[in-house]
Amino acid sequence: MPKLEFLVDERPITADIRDLIIAGWTGRDAAAVEHHIAELQAIGVARPRTVPCFYRCGANLLTTAEHLDVTGPDSSGEVEFVLLSLPQGLFVGVGSDHTDRKVEAYGVTVSKQMCPKPVGPSLWRFEDVKPHWDSLILRSFATRRTAGNAERELYQQGPVTKMLAPNDLTSRYLKSTATLPIGIAMYCGTLPVLTTIGGAEKFEIELEDPIRNRRLTHSYEARILPYSD
């Protein structure tokens, strides 16, 4: 199992992650879910068989690194809140479901295995945000180069109420009201993009807690590896 180091309340904690789950189409609003499905259909991605759906990925893909290696120019990120079940309890992080969009067009499950899955280096205890969960806000920025100039733009923004609440989502995954088993990290769905789905030189993600006036943040750059054929 991969071991990742995080900070919780400025103190280090080691996470042994056994299973990485990517939850898709997790919106509370059926119309918003349909909008995101339509976004992906526009770039050739097939409709999901079930809503929500859960993709298993190799736990080794989870990383706190600030630099990723990806094959070709067709991958991009999506900001998500991440649940991590550890011996010390349930924690919340911010991550990016970085996915190869070209591969996604012919196989979503395969595309989920194509890229590392960034997650921020700090976590919050779920119990600390549970009372005001619906106040949290997800946000992402993409820096793209246009005519030689790097331009940073707001890529996604919205409340976590756009996605199913953590307990609702985990109960659907487990098909019971049991707690998420220790050793699981689950990416919990994303927001529609505000511009155009696509790659970027730099991707920044954040989860804001306006009640406690704090944020979980992370940024990373994706290096494009050349094709050999």
**DSSP characters over 12-40:** EEEEE--EEEEEES-BSSHHHHHHHHHHH
Structure tokens that stand for 181 in this block: 């088993």
Whether residue 52 has a cis bond before it, omega within 30° of 0: yes
pLDDT band, residue 9 (cuts 50/70/90): very high
The pLDDT of residue 45 is above 80: no
The pLDDT of residue 216 is above 90: yes
Q: What is the pLDDT of residue 141?
A: 97
Q: How far apart are the first and last CA of the chain?
A: 33
192 in the Ramachandran plot: left (φ > 0), alpha (ψ -120 to 50) or beta?
A: beta
Q: Which whole-number Å values give the CA distances from 135 to 31, 72, 141, 169, in the listed order?
A: 21, 37, 20, 18
Select from 26, 11, 25, 27 the least CA-distant residue to 91: 11
Which of 84-88, 92-96, 197-201 shows the lowest mean pLDDT across its residues? Answer: 197-201
Extents of the domains making up the chain: 3-225
> Each residue of 47-67: pLDDT tens digit?
788 889 999 999 999 999 999
The pLDDT of residue 168 is above 90: yes
Structure tokens that stand for 52 in this block: 């929500």
Query: Per mean pLDDT, which of 38-47, 142-151, 169-178 is the most reliable?
Result: 169-178
Q: How many residues are listed for the chain in this entry?
A: 229
Half-sphere exposure of 64 (CA within 13 A, CB side): 16
Question: What's the CA gap between 59 and 52, in Å, rounded?
Answer: 21
Half-sphere exposure of 146 (CA within 13 A, CB side): 6
The more confidently predicted of residues 149 and 124 is 124
Structure tokens that stand for 168 in this block: 């609702």
Question: What's the CA gap between 71 and 152, in Å, rounded?
Answer: 23
The helix (run of H) or strand (run of E) holding residue 104 is helix 101-104
Q: What is the pLDDT of residue 42?
A: 81
Which homologous superfamily does the CATH classification assign to the domain defined by 3-225? Fumarylacetoacetase-like, C-terminal domain (3.90.850.10)
Q: Which whole-number Å values give the CA distances from 21 to 10, 47, 56, 72, 173, in the listed order?
A: 26, 19, 5, 24, 10
Task: Please state, for a pLDDT cut of 90, what percent of the chain lies above it.
Answer: 65
Structure tokens that stand for 177 in this block: 């009201």
Q: What is the pLDDT of residue 47?
A: 79
Question: What's the CA gap between 71 and 27, in Å, rounded?
Answer: 30
Per the CB < 8 A criterion, the answer to whether 187 and 82 are in contact is yes
Q: What is the pLDDT of residue 33?
A: 78
Q: What is the pLDDT of residue 38?
A: 81
